[in-house]
Amino acid sequence: DQGHAVTAGQAWHENLHQTIISVQQAEGCGLVIKQHIADNPLKRALLTPDDWKLLRYCPCPVLMVKTEAPWTGGNILAAVDVGNADIEHRTLHSSIINYGYQIASLAEGTLHVISAHPSAMLSSADPAFQLKETIEARYRNACRQFQTEFDIPDGQLHIEEGPADALIPRVCHQLQAAVTVIGTVARTGFSGALMGNTAEVVLDTLESDVLVLKPEDIIDHLEELVARR
């Protein structure tokens, strides 16, 4: 009922993404919200898009706004990679599902979860990866804990075969999702970008707003990089 306190200002620090990050750090903002307009393919092939740089280097969650559609009553899609079971991924999965759950609760919407699994390989040393059915069962079993914690029925859990950067936009389209929550795990500045660039690749193809999260240790690392400038 009291609304929000809003301030406006102008700033510039070398380039767009560094300007946003500098203001975010100076103001102690816990979320960056930015309109996303896709670059044309030729420009993207020659230059790293500013929004990709923002996703890589911003030390807080980033919400890329792509549509004018309201979130109220809509489907919320949380994308996780349960095939990676290390502590960093498990922590990030929990954060992604929790954010998705909170958004769905506030928007009175429905939370869906997707995880892509690899194709079966008869030559695999692990019998669990020789058949599609056993791979899917393994992935579904890995989802049981957060299914129970956040009351996600099997019908809202999408475990499908194929590359994540193709499956996530497809399921988002099928659900007409209002927002997709996705995570990034790879450190920047070490010859790599974001988890196989999945977050960057799907940014242009998703037909929803996109909330991108990072683990706490990566946020700490990025804050250190900003402080060194």
Domains in the chain, CATH or no CATH each: 64-216 (3.40.50.12370)
Burial of 207 (0-12, 13-18, 19+ CB in 10 A): middle
pLDDT tens for residues 101-115?
A: 999 999 999 999 999
pLDDT at position 191: 35
Instruction: Tell which residue, 56, 57, 63, 61, has the closest CA to residue 22.
Output: 57
pLDDT at 117: 85
pLDDT, tens digit, for every residue of 122-156? 555 565 556 677 888 888 888 888 899 899 999 99
**pLDDT computed for residue 43 by the predictor:** 65
Q: What is the pLDDT of residue 167?
A: 94
Contact in structure between 188 and 25 (CB atoms under 8 Å): no
Tell whether pTM > 0.85.
yes
Q: Determine which of 10-14, 32-36, 40-44, 152-156 has the lowest per-residue pLDDT on average.
A: 40-44
- In terms of pLDDT, which residue wins out, 39 or 170? 170
- The pLDDT of residue 212 is 94
- Residues of the chain with pLDDT > 70, as a percent, come to 86
- Greatest mean pLDDT among 63-77, 127-141, 208-222 lies in 63-77
pLDDT at 189: 45
